[in-house]
Amino acid sequence: MPKVLISDKLSPSAVEIFQNRGIDADVKVGLSKEELIDIVGQYDGLAVRSATKVTADVMAAAINLKVIGRAGIGVDNIDLPAATAKGIVVMNTPFGNSITTAEHAIALMMSLSRQIPAANVSTQAGKWEKSRFMGTEVTSKTLGIIGCGNIGSIVASRAKGLQMKVVAYDPYLSDEKAVELGVEKVDFDAFLARSDFISLHTPLTDETRNILNADAISKTKKGVRIINCARGGLIDEAALKAALESGHVAGAALDVFLEEPAKENDLFGTENFIATPHLGAATREAQENVALQIAEQMSDFLLTGAVANAINMPSISADEAAEMGPFIRLAEQLGLFAGQLTESGIKGVQIEYEGEVARMNTKALTAAALEGLMRPIVSEVNMVNAPVIAKERGIRLSEITRDAQGVYESYIRFTVTTERQTRSVAGTVFSDGSPRIIQVKNIDMEALVSPHMLYVTNEDKPGFIGALGNVLGEAGLNIATFNLGRSKPGEDAIALIAIDEPISAETLEKVAALPFVKQAKALSF
């Protein structure tokens, strides 16, 4: 039975989901780093929110860990490179708190436009300063959204309901999607110049860090109001404070800060500044949603292999996992076949997907193929870390997809370029769900992959098959299947033989010493 550790406070319903799915769930909240390191090796899954810091040290001790689930969007508390290198899937719940966060952004925008927090403090202090708190309408104003993904799209929808105009700066937003959302996609300078309000909804990356710096803020419309419910670090806090004090920025509301918990910050006390303690996801509905969602996702992964909302590998739904299972095995076997035959440094890999398989989740198939390729040379490799390992080793990867052109409805060709040669192997999945090798080095053949196989390349000469059979017979090796192919009569030929048990080094040497043999390799699948 898989075991999951819940180390941050989650809804009790999440525990029920794990238990009802047949997964043992332990709730141990408030663990120190040392305590977590001591016990994490017992678990297959780790469910966290933001309090638990899943560092490289923690993952080094997590000898059985397969998945880390973050009940929420941000994974800043998880060492993603370390998880990927160790082959641990990291998944989050990007949709569970989207509405809640979007609503908080709208609430902060309205609070800024009418100075509600300051007016509240003033009124409860016994003052009646109607003239001091002159507000501004949001109707017909322009809201600029940086990052028009899931949350940004919801903010845009709510803003349009308030009769606002919406412009968006998002390099990844397609023109078609912008039209669908009813927003105007603009470049960054136009975005800054036109926005009356700016709301940020983008991840923190090298490209977005301090996207609103002093230079960008200077290009905004005088009197702009800025809201950030996304990530600390998107705004240069010192530049924002200066702009607030100069009056260029009429108001700012931050739910997130560069350093959290933000118990001290230079912005605190600045006039026309509103701060909330990272409340974007802080509603009962959102906390329940993300807890239930991460429990279901982790259960699906541990029980069926389905991957949803993964940060460091392609997502695969349960239906996709069932449909793609034979092709994932095929891709892995093709990679493993090529990896075991490769005897020099790998420079590049090309994977061709043809027919129905080209319309599947090819990123997952590529990850499986690279896992197979890396397995003979890397001790700990899986679909999560194989693409990273390949990239670190300088292996160039190219993928080609196309419609069916030959006799097979689906077809995968895996080509490896090394320092000495280029070698290809191709395969398909038959109607019974069994993967088959159908071509090696451009020589057609058909072979069902077996646990123990012998691969021989030779000159196509009479008597070779008999001599090979004699060597295997003398060694007591039973032949399960014997598959042959050749380029032309008398030229290059290939034999791919399934045997009932592994071939010994001594017998393999005898095969290699036979007349006309160019290469003999033992393969294991």
Q: What type of residue sits at position 255?
A: D
Instruction: Identify whether residues 9 and 158 lie together within a single domain.
Output: no
Choose the final residue of a domain: 399, 415, 449.
449
Q: Does any domain span residue 419?
A: yes
Cα gap 129→124, rounded to integer Å: 11
pLDDT given at position 33:
94
Measured at the CA of 350, the angle between CA 348 and CA 354, to 5 degrees, comes to 175
Q: Hey, what are 291's tokens?
A: 């807890």
Could you tell me if 423 and 342 are in contact, meaning their C-beta atoms sit under 8 angstroms apart?
yes
Q: Are 479 and 403 in a shared domain? A: no
Tokens for 80? 């993603």
- Predicted TM-score (pTM) above 0.85: no
Do 525 and 412 lie in one domain? The reply is: no
Annotated catalytic residue, options 35, 260, 285, 509: 260
Is residue 309 situated within a structural domain?
A: no
CATH code of 125's domain: 3.40.50.720
Rounded Cα–Cα distance for residues 229 and 256 (Å): 6
Tell me whether residue 15 is in a domain.
Answer: yes
Domain boundary among the residues 449, 475, 508 is at 449
- ∠ CA(312), CA(313), CA(319), 5° rounding? 140
410-418 and 422-429 strand pairing:
antiparallel
Q: Are residues 242 and 111 in the same domain?
A: yes
pLDDT confidence of residue 120: 96
- Residue that has been written with the tokens 């960054």 in this structure: 188
Active site (annotated) includes residue 260: yes
459 contacts 490 by C-beta, under 8 angstroms: yes
pLDDT at 201: 95
Q: What is the pLDDT of residue 510?
A: 94
278 is catalytic: yes
Amino acid at site 442: N
Q: Are residues 247 and 191 located together in one domain of the fold?
A: yes
Question: In tens digits, what is the pLDDT along the chain, a chain of 525 residues?
Answer: 899 999 999 999 999 999 999 999 999 999 999 999 999 999 999 999 989 999 999 999 999 999 999 998 878 899 988 998 888 999 999 888 889 999 999 999 999 999 999 999 999 999 999 999 999 999 999 999 999 988 999 999 999 999 999 999 998 888 889 999 999 999 999 999 999 999 999 988 888 999 999 999 999 999 999 999 999 999 999 999 999 999 999 999 999 999 999 999 999 999 999 999 999 988 989 889 999 999 999 999 999 888 888 888 888 877 777 788 899 999 999 999 999 988 778 899 999 999 999 999 899 899 999 999 988 887 678 888 888 888 888 899 999 999 888 778 899 999 999 888 888 999 999 888 889 999 998 899 888 888 999 999 999 899 989 999 999 999 999 999 999 988 888 888 999 999 999 999 999 999 999 999 999 999 988
> How far apart are the C-alpha atoms of 117 and 112, rounded to whole Å?
8
Structure tokens at 282: 């802080």
Question: In sequence order, what are the residues at sequence separation of 6 or more whose Cβ sits closer than 8 angstroms to the Cβ of residue 151?
Answer: 98, 101, 102, 105, 201, 229, 230
**10: containing domain:** 3-95+285-304
**Residue 240 domain flag:** yes
Of 449, 483, 502, the residue that ends a domain is: 449
Helix residue ranges per DSSP H, 309-350: 318-341
Judge if 38 and 103 occupy the same domain: no
111 found inside a domain? yes
Query: Which residue in 104, 201, 231, 375 is the catalytic one?
Result: 231
Rounded to whole angstroms, how far apart are CA atoms 102 and 478? Answer: 66
DSSP 187-203: -HHHHHHH-SEEEE---
438, 349: one domain: yes
All residues at 6 or more sequence positions from 249 whose CB lies less than 8 Å from its CB, including other chains = 217, 220, 223, 224, 225, 226, 240, 243, 272
- Residues 511 and 436 grouped into a single domain: no
CATH number of the structural domain spanning residue 372: 3.30.1330.90
Angle, helices 284-304/98-114, rounded to nearest 10 degrees: 150
Helix axes 116-124, 98-114, angle to 10 degrees: 60
In a domain, 28, yes or no: yes
The reply to whether 509 belongs to the active site is: no
Residues 188 and 129 placed together within one structural domain of the fold: yes
Query: For position 517, which CATH number holds?
Result: 3.30.70.260
> Does 102 lie in the same domain as 90?
no
Distance CA 60, CA 65 (A): 10
Summarised one tens digit per residue, pLDDT across range 107-148 is: 999 999 999 999 999 999 999 999 999 999 999 999 999 999
**Model confidence pLDDT, tens digit, residues 68-109:** 999 988 788 999 889 988 889 999 998 888 899 999 999 999
* Nearest 10 degrees: Cα torsion 458, 463, 467, 473: 120
Q: How far apart are CA 417 and CA 171, in angstroms?
A: 35
DSSP annotation of 235 reads: B
Tally the domains of the chain.
Answer: 4
Q: Does residue 363 sit in the same domain as residue 407? A: yes
498 found inside a domain: yes
In this structure, is residue 280 part of a structural domain? no
Closest residue by Cα to residue 199 from 109, 86, 294, 100: 109
Candidates 70, 278, 329, 436; catalytic one: 278
pLDDT at 314: 81
Task: Tell me: do 265 and 144 sit in the same domain.
Answer: yes
Q: Which helix (H) or strand (E) holds 509?
A: helix 505-512
